[in-house]
Amino acid sequence: MVNGIGKKIKKYREAAGLKQEELAEIIDVSPNHLSAIERDVKTPKLETFIRIVNALHVTSDEILVDVIDKGIKIQYTHIEERLAGLPLKEQKKMMRILDTMIEEAKN
């Protein structure tokens, strides 16, 4: 069982303002089945997963980013993009903070 997919689905469902019953109807599964998915008791089949991401208007990356090993690289890219949007002075400040945190984590 892959942990975390259900929790992410629930997070994005709630952000979309949908009740479990509403999303279940949209993706053509029972509310009990969707509940089991959100509790990480069941892993959705690929077809169901595709219906979920389409219904929630999210990407599969957004759901899987913490689940798949390569997902961390996606997070790095998002951080890089956010840093690039800051003024140079703030970028340097953030890099010093990250360097300090990394050194601390090594110890």
12-38, pLDDT tens digit by residue?
A: 999 999 999 999 999 999 999 999 999
Which residue in 64, 60, 35 sits closest to 47, CA to CA? 60
Is 90 exceeded by the pLDDT of residue 71? no
User: Burial, 11: exposed, middle or buried (Cβ in 10 Å; 0-12, 13-18, 19+)?
Assistant: middle
User: Burial, 63: exposed, middle or buried (Cβ in 10 Å; 0-12, 13-18, 19+)?
Assistant: buried
CATH 1.10.760.10 fits 5-64, yes or no: no
pTM of the model: 0.64
Q: Token digits for 4? A: 């975390």
The top-scoring range by mean pLDDT among 21-25, 64-68, 77-81 is 21-25
Query: How far, rounded to the nearest angstrom, does the alpha carbon of residue 48 sit from its chain's CA centroid?
Result: 17
